[in-house]
Amino acid sequence: MNLYNALRMYNAYDPFNVQYSTTENDRSFLLVNEGTHYSTTIPLPGALREDIDVSVSGNSLRVQYKPEKENPYAAPFSRTWRIKDMDIEQVSSKYENGLLTVTVNKRYAPTDSSVRKIQID
CA distance 7 to 99: 21
Coil, strand or helix at 73: coil
For the entire predicted model, the pTM comes to: 0.66
C-alpha to C-alpha distance for 83 and 56, rounded to whole angstroms: 10
Note whether 85 and 106 are within 8 A (CB). yes
Measured over all CA atoms, what is the biggest interatomic distance in the chain, rounded to whole angstroms? Answer: 43
Task: Give the separation between CA 99 and CA 56, rounded to whole angstroms.
Answer: 20
Looking at 3.40.50.1220, 2.60.40.790, 3.40.50.300, 3.10.20.30, the CATH number of the domain 3-118 comes to 2.60.40.790
Q: What is the pLDDT along the chain (121 residues), one digit of tens a residue?
A: 555 555 555 554 444 445 444 444 445 577 888 888 999 998 888 888 999 999 998 889 999 998 887 777 667 888 899 888 888 889 999 999 889 999 999 876 555 567 778 888 8
CB within 8 Å of 117: residues ≥ 6 apart: 53, 54, 55
Q: Give the separation between CA 13 and CA 45, rounded to whole angstroms.
A: 29
